[in-house]
Structure 1
Amino acid sequence: MTQKLENVLNRASNTADALFQEVLGRKDKADSTRNALNVLQRFKFLFNLPLNIERNIQKGDYDVVINDYEKAKSLFGKTEVQVFKKYYAEVETRIEALRELLLDKLLETPSTLHDQKRYIRYLSDLHAPGDPAWQCIGAQHKWILQLMHSCKEGYVKDLKGKDFCSDLYSTFSCHFNTLWECSRFSWYLYLSSLFFLVPAPL
């Protein structure tokens, strides 16, 4: 009787252990899944940042892009985790494209002083290489020189046009005077012939 009871208890214990092991295994899986979700939620900012940068650039929200970039740089700029390094590299690629875009806008001429100051600030905040302010001054200097050259060429062209008109007027006047003299001489011959044809009064 005692042996039978012991066997029953052992089987019950084994069954309970098996059931609890399954439950514990599920708990471990649930904990792992929960931890993974927490990690994803925690680093969701970085994983979504490349796409968010593209969208904000298209909308012209450069201040938002710069703030997000500074945050990502402080959190993941020196990370050694391969997944984070991969996504942060994509962020840097898009930021480099934004630097080029802003520099092109800065060097466009003509442009307002307000826009120039804004693009210079953006480039400075994005740690763009070189000196954006001096690059802007150089572009403006080149543009002003081109304007001066165009004005000079237009003025010289106008002067040449005026000289041509003067030459044309002088030539026309000379020929007109010649024609006038010829006409006067013709009239003189005509009147002289009439004088000789009309008989003198007796």
Structure 2
Amino acid sequence: MVRYLGFAALPAVLLAALIPVRADTAADAYGAMGIKAADVLSGSVVAARVLPGEAKQVVAMVTYFTGKKDDASAVDVRLEVFRKDGNALVEVYSRDFGNENGGFVGRGDLELLDLDGDGVSEIVVSYDQLSNPLVQRRSGEVIVHEPSGFRVAWTGDLEYDATRAARDVPQDRRDRFVRKLDPGATIRTHGITLFMTKKVIAVAGERLPEPKEVKETFPLRPAPAP
């Protein structure tokens, strides 16, 4: 299923893209990715407009057993965007997060959100990074489509807790925080600025008396020419 990363009470315009596909289409997506349905740990397969035009694409974020025996690559997380060509699914965009991170990934999730109000959804993905068992880390990306193709507009940690990793992580990086997107504030800028709320719980290994919330902004798209 499609999970939500703290997106409470999303406006209807943002939810309109979240249309789970039929079971046979999900099976077709797994097949096009070369993944056996029996190996799927979790999968989000959604029909939505992520490219300009009236047609909907099929977007799949799949966590699955690879069949490999080593701990690093036994589980992988992949993202695929397909367009339909008759009964066939044709790959448009592909990411292999296990390969990109040297393995040790898991629990991939997908959200499709129209953050600029143009009727085309941006792709928001998240997944666990598990290389250090003492560090809880969940990474995320916001992927936008431009005339040149898909582009990663933002990447960073949505959850991070290194407070237990006294030997492996320098003290100034032993923080703990949770970061959430603010889609309402983002859409009010027509998708030019990405807004996030970062709740800081610990800094340099020391827990704060009270969690501190920080409003963050990041460039998402260039402003249109006047």
What TM-score does the superposition give when structure 2 sets the normalisation length? Answer: 0.22
Looking at secondary structure, tell me which structure has more strand per residue: 2
The structure that has the greater radius of gyration is 1
